Homo-oligomer: A and B are copies of this chain.
């Protein structure tokens, strides 16, 4: 479960806390960078540009507060301070130096994760892009559930839409009758005739000449395939 989630830089010199954080974070999909000193932390920060920082104070070669201040000079990535010092003055100094949150040890895993979610919620305010599949002249916008062929919009019934998206997600590859039936009609479906009827409907809507398909290709005796590039003929 490594390689998908946000990249977090953990700056911490106590091995025990390190292990604790590593377990908590990696089990929730985060990718982790670790630094034990201010020097290491700055190198990793500039080279990898992590999405969020977990910062212990009291490092062997300098103060975490200064590190926070320097990091804040070139990025708005959230910084969460983890510290054994619970004095109010320490918190105020860290927060005013650029930290976004301050947790006093000991703290629970769930609180840490919740505060991480808050931090990431802030930094990801930007709009996310929509997933779109493009195959030849076809364009399928999954979020809008909109299908266009050469720019023109086509209305599809639920079954036709499921058929087409299934084929499009495996563009170029042959899907057997059995695979198609299981994906579109559920694991118990057996009537291969369903596929033929709905494939004909689909061809009426997206093929120039439904009698001579250029996109929805029949593979006799095997299944169907959505052509993903022009072929001779």
A54-107 contacts to B, CB under 8 A, are: 76, 88-89, 91-92, 95-96, 99-101
A98-134 contacts to B, CB under 8 A, are: 99-101, 108, 110-111, 113-115, 117-118, 122, 125-126, 130
The minimal Cβ–Cβ distance linking A155 to chain B, given in whole angstroms, is 9
The minimal Cβ–Cβ distance linking A219 to chain B, given in whole angstroms, is 6
Q: Does A225 contact B (CB under 8 A)?
A: yes
Name the interface size band of chain A. Answer: 35 or more
Q: Say whether, besides A96-B117, A158-B221, A222-B158, A144 and B174 are in contact (CB < 8 Å).
A: yes
Q: Say whether, besides A95-B114, A125-B126, A145-B174, A88 and B101 are in contact (CB < 8 Å).
A: no
Binding site for B on A (CB under 8 A): 76, 88-89, 91-92, 95-96, 99-101, 108, 110-111, 113-115, 117-118, 122, 125-126, 130, 143-145, 153, 157-158, 172-174, 219-222, 225, 231
